[in-house]
């Protein structure tokens, strides 16, 4: 090696032995060093070319995208230096101290998994963990569901609720004769994007009535009654996001009869089973009504909220079919949707869920913790309602305690929301949706003061 070559290589203390990584780096540098006698054609010129160096990026035309309307709330919140700031935009449960919660039963399950030395990190099958799929179907449809007993249900593990919806959308775009899906107004902000990019045409039906801050049931029936035969209809199984307004069981029955009479295909988004009322079976009643009549339906299922597994991205997608033979063929095609998308799902989160659902003691512990979360959210609704009433805030705020689930559609307009953010450092989506799970007894007075000021000053 020439002196020049030596000067270009990393030098090490002779007394210090090379680690294997040091030796690899040293060898790589020697390999890449151009010998002094080499021809300029033997190496790539270091001078900038039209494609590299000082030239414009090939992506220079790309414009700055706006923040996601929901996740962007947290971005703005994180930039605010105020010690009194409050984030009510995030759809995640918080404790009374405002901290994220990991369920005790989840920690127990994880510890059990860690202690099992036989566990490996091999790929799961394309459709995921078989036990997870089986137990997820039983959880949402009921263990004694005829559809399960007759093997008419195919369930695949997906990437939480969003991934389940996307897999369902792409399957329908490939294999269903009608590619129009009707979604409620309003709905979760990601729904239109997921279904559009999945290959479906999105239309809407009336759902929320701003005047009553409740369900526009008549408008819903009229719009679904006008939908073309065979159209797909997105239904929130419970705890409608963002409004917190759900149909009654009697209204669900009317919706079922109308949809079946017109041959409309129900596609349920179940993100909050057990998280709305605190009762797993009660929050699945709408889905089970549609399954009980023998008809077909689709269900996207998430464990983000009810097990607090947000970052684990654990979900399931199920299709209830007319026969076991159809279900088998449907599953084979779902594999063809999943394989080029993400190949197969992650193992850890699904293993946590399966561990809890299979063990009677863990399952019971989960239901207790789940009900405690639901009850705390319900108590926050009552505290906020009482605080607004105590302040004499103009308007009828009873919708806060009538709505259910993680979110409340306050009725505040975008100007009032902007006022509350600027003057009180309270962050929420511009449509006035707030996460009740982000509130605590300590922060309710601050929110009530802000709402009172916004309503009295901003009209």
The average pLDDT across 340-344 equals 96
Is 359 in the active site?
Answer: no
Condensed to tens digits (0 to 9), the pLDDT of residues 4-39 reads 444 444 443 444 444 444 555 454 445 444 444 444
Q: Using omega within 30 degrees of 0 as the cis cutoff, is the peptide bond preceding 266 cis?
A: no
Lowest mean pLDDT among 49-58, 100-109, 128-137, 181-190: 49-58
Domains present along the chain, CATH in parentheses: 71-101+374-458 (3.90.1150.10), 123-358 (3.40.640.10)
* CA 117 from centre of chain: 32
3-class secondary structure, 204: strand
The HSE-up count of residue 101 (CA atoms within 13 Å, CB side) is: 23
Q: What is the pTM of this model?
A: 0.85
Condensed to tens digits (0 to 9), the pLDDT of residues 422-444 reads 999 999 988 899 999 999 999 99
CA triple 142-148-152, angle to 5 deg: 140
Alpha-carbon distance of 259 to 265, in angstroms, equals: 7
Condensed to tens digits (0 to 9), the pLDDT of residues 267-324 reads 999 999 999 999 999 999 999 999 999 999 999 999 999 999 999 999 999 999 999 9
- Residue 6 has what pLDDT? 43
Contact 344, 338 (CB under 8 A): yes
The HSE-up count of residue 334 (CA atoms within 13 Å, CB side) is: 29
End-to-end CA distance of the chain: 81
Q: Which candidate in 188, 252, 366, 397 is catalytic?
A: 188
Is 305 in the active site?
Answer: yes
- Residue 363 has what pLDDT? 98
Contact 353, 136 (CB under 8 A): yes
Residues β-bridged to residue 244: none
- Among the listed residues 99, 90, 85, 87, the one whose alpha carbon sits nearest the alpha carbon of residue 71: 90
Q: Which candidate in 246, 269, 283, 449 is catalytic?
A: 269
How many other β-carbons are positioned within 10 Å of the β-carbon of residue 262? Answer: 16
Percent of the chain with pLDDT over 70: 88
Q: Which candidate in 223, 305, 366, 449 is catalytic?
A: 305
- Among the listed residues 322, 352, 360, the one whose alpha carbon sits nearest the alpha carbon of residue 143: 360
Give the DSSP H or E segment for 208: strand 208-209
- Among the listed residues 37, 69, 312, the one whose alpha carbon sits nearest the alpha carbon of residue 193: 69
Is 293 in the active site?
Answer: no
Name, in order, each residue with C-beta under 8 angstroms of 346's C-beta and a sequence gap of 6 or more. Answer: 124, 159, 312, 313
Q: What is the DSSP letter of 9?
A: S
Alpha-carbon distance of 456 to 438, in angstroms, equals: 24
């Amino acid at each position: 090696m020439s002196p020049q070559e030596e000067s270009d290589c990393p030098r090490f203390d002779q007394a210090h032995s090379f680690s294997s990584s040091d030796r690899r780096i040293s060898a790589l540098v020697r390999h890449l060093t151009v010998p002094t006698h080499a021809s300029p054609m033997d190496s790539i010129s270091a001078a900038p070319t039209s494609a590299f160096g000082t030239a414009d990026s090939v992506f220079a035309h790309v414009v700055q995208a706006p923040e996601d309307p929901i996740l962007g709330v947290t971005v703005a919140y994180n930039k605010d230096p105020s010690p009194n700031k409050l984030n009510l935009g995030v759809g995640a449960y918080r404790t009374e101290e405002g901290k994220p919660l990991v369920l005790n039963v989840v920690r127990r399950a994880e510890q059990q998994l860690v202690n099992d030395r036989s566990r490996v990190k091999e790929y799961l099958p394309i459709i995921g963990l078989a036990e997870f799929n089986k137990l997820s179907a039983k959880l949402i449809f009921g263990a004694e569901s005829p559809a399960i007993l007759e093997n008419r249900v195919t369930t695949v593990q997906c990437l939480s609720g969003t991934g389940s919806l996307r897999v369902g959308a792409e399957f329908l775009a490939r294999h269903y004769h009608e590619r129009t899906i009707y979604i409620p107004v309003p709905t979760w902000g990601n729904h239109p994007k997921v279904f559009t990019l999945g290959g479906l045409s999105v239309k809407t039906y009336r759902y929320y009535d701003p005047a009553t801050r409740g369900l526009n049931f008549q408008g819903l029936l009229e719009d679904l009654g006008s939908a073309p035969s065979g159209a797909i209809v997105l239904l929130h199984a419970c705890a409608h996001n963002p409004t917190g307004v759900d149909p009654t069981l009697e209204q669900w029955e009317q919706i079922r009869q109308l949809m079946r009479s017109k041959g409309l295909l129900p596609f349920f988004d179940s993100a909050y089973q057990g998280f709305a009322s605190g009762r797993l079976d009660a929050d699945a009643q709408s889905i089970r009504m549609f399954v009980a009549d023998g008809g077909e339906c689709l269900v996207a299922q998430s464990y983000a909220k009810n097990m607090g597994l947000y970052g684990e991205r654990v979900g399931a997608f199920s299709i209830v079919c007319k026969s076991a033979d159809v279900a088998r063929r449907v599953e084979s095609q779902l594999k063809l949707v999943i394989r080029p998308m993400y190949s197969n799902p992650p193992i850890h989160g699904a293993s946590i869920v399966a561990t809890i659902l299979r063990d009677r003691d863990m399952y019971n512990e989960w239901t207790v913790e789940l009900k405690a979360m639901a009850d705390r959210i319900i108590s926050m609704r009552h505290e906020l309602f009482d605080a607004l009433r105590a302040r004499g805030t103009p308007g009828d705020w009873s919708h806060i305690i009538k709505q259910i689930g993680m979110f409340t559609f306050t009725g505040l307009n975008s100007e009032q929301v902007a006022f509350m953010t600027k003057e009180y450092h309270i962050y929420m989506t511009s449509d006035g949706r707030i996460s009740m799970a982000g509130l605590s007894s300590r922060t309710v007075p601050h929110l009530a003061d802000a709402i009172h000021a916004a309503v009295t000053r901003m009209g």
